Amino acid sequence: MRKITTYLFLLCTISLWSQKQFQGKAVYQSKTTVDMSSWGAEMSEERKKQIKARMKNFLEKSYTLNFTTKESVYKEEAKLQAPGTRGFRFGGFTGGGIKYKNLQANKALESVEFFGKKFLITDNTEKPKWELGSDTKQIGKYTCFKATLVKKVDAFDWRNMRRRGRGRGKGKKPSDKSKTTKVTEEIEIPKEITVTAWYTPQIPVSNGPGQYWGLPGLILEINEGRTTILCSEVIMNVKDKETKIEAPTKGDEVTREEYNKIVKKKMEEMREMFQRRRGGGRGRGRF
């Protein structure tokens, strides 16, 4: 009963705020951990350290979320690379994409670049089925409440990829094939993961980083598999022209399903090309 009363109060608060004209900005830090231990003795400790160092800029990113009560833009902040270092890229994916959400119009768009080609992805706008909890914690000056969500994992979500059979070993069970998707002979990905969100009713905006929204307050932290997204700063009543909220327009328009098919086809072409080169042949994939 207490949970229901609190929830109704929060919804009323959001309704009152929705009548106000304002814009806010939230800064997030994203960090993804990599489990190198699954490679065991096949890779030296020195080599593991080198790979982790190269991947740091790829695994630790900064984002900004510019939002109103109706719409938002979530964008990666450009990061200068230290002189003499080499960047890391996963396949043909590049960073710097923009995620746009219009909660009033049930519209979600994401601009991405894959192997030098720009795409504009129309995404699912169905409200996430969060389970609200009673746990609380403090993030900065904001009191946050816990919510959880069981999410299907995109087959190309590199953050949740892991080595196949990593559970094998003394006292450990192998991965359950019914709960994982085979990506390659070496790599697999879980079909579902539990996402934990921490949101604050003190900023009654039903929004959050990336694809996440639908809670009675701004989401300040997301724990998703091996990735944590944490808000480090919130600025209200932003008036900077550079933070103007606009939907992206550049790129070939595709649905999320169509985009995944394009990525899958390209990755298969690249794998075949790599195998031919190892065998002495030549090949070149294209869209």
What are the pLDDT digits (tens) for 153-209? 776 666 666 666 654 444 445 555 567 656 556 667 778 889 999 999 999 899 999
Residues in CB range of 186: below 8 A, 6 or more apart: 163, 164
DSSP string, 205-234: -S--STT---SSSEEEEEEETTEEEEEEEE
First to last CA, the chain: 56
pLDDT attached to residue 241: 59
Q: What's the pLDDT at 142?
A: 97
Predicted local confidence at residue 101, as pLDDT? 95
Task: Check residue 184 and give its pLDDT.
Answer: 59
Architecture (CATH level 2) of domain 2-153+191-250: Clam (2.50)
* CA separation for the pair 191, 188 (Å, rounded): 9
Cα–Cα distance between 212 and 127 in angstroms, integer? 9
pLDDT in tens, 81-108: 554 444 445 445 555 589 999 998 889 9
Show the low-confidence residues of the chain (pLDDT under 50): 2, 5, 9, 14-19, 83-88, 90-91, 167-172, 282-285
pLDDT at site 88: 46
Q: What is the pLDDT of residue 177?
A: 59
Asked if 262 contacts 48 with a C-beta cutoff of 8 angstroms, the reply is no
Cα(254)–Cα(210) distance, integer angstroms: 18
Say what the pLDDT of residue 176 is. Answer: 59
What sign for the dihedral angle of Cα 81, 85, 90, 94? Answer: positive
**CA–CA distance, 194 with 3 (Å, rounded to integer):** 21
How high is the pLDDT of residue 237? 82
Within a 10 A sphere around the Cβ of 87, how many other Cβ atoms? 11
